[in-house]
Amino acid sequence: MKTAYAYARFSSDNQREESITAQLRAIHEYCAKNDIKILQEFKDEAQSARTDKRPAFQDMFALIKERPADYLIVHKLDRFARNREDAAFYRSKLKEKGMKLVSVLERLDDSPESIIMEGVIEAMNEYYSANLSRESKKGIKENILQGKRNGGKAPFGYTVVNQHLIPNGDADKVRGLFSMYAEGEKLADIGRKLQLPFNHYYPVLRNEVYIGTLKSGEWRHENAHEAIVDRDTWDMVQKRMGDASLNAQNKATHQYLLSGMVVCGKCGRRITCGNVDNKYFYYRCKTKGCSIYREHELDERVIHELAKAFTPTDAVKAKFYELVTDRVNSSASYKEAKIARSTLSKRISKLIDSIQYAETDEDVKRIMGKVNELRKQMPKDRPKTEVSRAACDAFIEAFCDIETHEPEIQKLILRKTIDKIVVTPDELFLFTNIQKGTSIMVIKNGQIKKAPEGACVTILF
């Protein structure tokens, strides 16, 4: 008999996730049907899959290291991980021990279509997690634009009223701190004179909230609320502190689409990113005599070639439709209703059987009263939901149309499907990481070329 560990997780960021009880029930049903013995269950409650810092998850892998099984079984792949790097790392840990990750709802086998769907599902899970974060940031951004504070303790000198900052009685002490420091007084002397309630002055002197600016991450809103300190005093304070320009300080770092993925086809070294005056961006190999590639040209070249290969076949579309249909009709609500119907039916049958032992008409009425009450509690046997094949096909085609996505999503898909990119001025090798030995696309000037030693030509897309 094969053996397995069962892992279930409930996320606090989505209260409509299947309960851990329902997940484990589905796992046990799967194991019973497939003659698999569960050695131990592991449960993480209110834990996000965006991180691997989950107590039960770590305990499970510590046990796997000492006592491996045949399988690690989860309800859905997103219970395991929503982060590509974590998923790849822990899959490799399972592989080292000869174990296979199994999803009860996503019935994936070793066929090329299943291999591809596994990659697509994990990419979509990571996209969901990233999109959830992005949606949360939208709320933060909107608050910033409306001049509202996004929670937390109000800065010294302000009071929060309906999410807006209003100067309070300590505002004069803040003005005194800034003006006295701008005039050259020592901070220790200023603190004693003003009887300031804090010992660390630099965070206050650097906080733009005092000139009316709200910030959160990349978003800024100047004149969002009433300033306590005027701009001239602020500038003098920053100059004395030796601060660089605030614009330079808050300037976002340029994001390279292919960072960490490109390898020089001439010398084999990892290609690094660089720029000239934050205007001209490039990828370059540090080996003398190797090439430099303009960022936008190499990005476009990789995305264009990947788009030609990242086209779902009819077989892949069929597999995706099958998985979506199975997931929709295998949700916890359907399973809970099915179990409830079975339990109530058994109770009703026992009550009806007991009528033959009734001694009076009153006993019969009482029994039938209970039967009718149970029948009212019986969940309706809902028919299976019909899933639109056209909608599924349209979704996966849109998801795979990498050239139309924003850079953020392009980067996610790249890191989910591509292990490394080997480049020379006239050659481009895209090594996929969906599964070892299944897909390496080799392109030279837009044409398929014989693969390097140990590689094989793409067979999945």
232 with 182, same domain: the answer is yes
333 pLDDT exceeds 60? Answer: no
395 with 285, same domain: the answer is yes
Between 263 and 139, the more confident residue is: 263
Q: How much is the pTM?
A: 0.39
Q: Is 104 exposed, middle or buried (0-12, 13-18, 19+ CB in 10 A)?
A: buried
The pLDDT assigned to 172 comes to 93
The reply to whether 140 falls in a domain is no
257 with 245, same domain: the answer is no
259 with 245, same domain: the answer is no
360 with 399, same domain: the answer is no
167 with 225, same domain: the answer is yes
Query: Which residue blocks in 220-313 are alpha helix, DSSP H?
Result: 231-240, 246-249, 295-309
Distance CA 149, CA 222 (A): 13
- Domain extent at residue 342: 330-377
The pLDDT assigned to 68 comes to 92
Average pLDDT over residues 314-326: 78
260 with 392, same domain: the answer is yes
Q: Which of 198, 231, 249 is the last residue of a domain?
A: 249
- Residue 60 contacts residue 5 (beta carbons within 8 Å): yes
Helix/strand/coil for 420: strand
How would residue 438 be classed by pLDDT, with cut points 50, 70 and 90?
Answer: very low
Distance CA 376, CA 341 (A): 11
355 with 438, same domain: the answer is no
How would residue 83 be classed by pLDDT, with cut points 50, 70 and 90?
Answer: low
Helix/strand/coil for 438: coil
The pLDDT assigned to 149 comes to 77
172 with 219, same domain: the answer is yes
Q: What is the tally of structural domains in the chain?
A: 4
Phi, psi of 330 (to 5 degrees): -120, 20
91 with 19, same domain: the answer is yes
442 pLDDT exceeds 60? Answer: no
pLDDT in tens, 52-74: 577 888 899 999 988 999 999 99
Contacts of 156 by beta carbon, 8 Å cutoff, 6+ apart: 170, 173, 174, 197, 198, 204
Q: Is 5 exposed, middle or buried (0-12, 13-18, 19+ CB in 10 A)?
A: buried
Tokens of 125: 């899970």
291 with 211, same domain: the answer is no
134 pLDDT exceeds 60? Answer: no
pLDDT in tens, 423-435: 888 888 877 655 4
Q: Which of 68, 83, 105 is the last residue of a domain?
A: 105
288 with 169, same domain: the answer is no
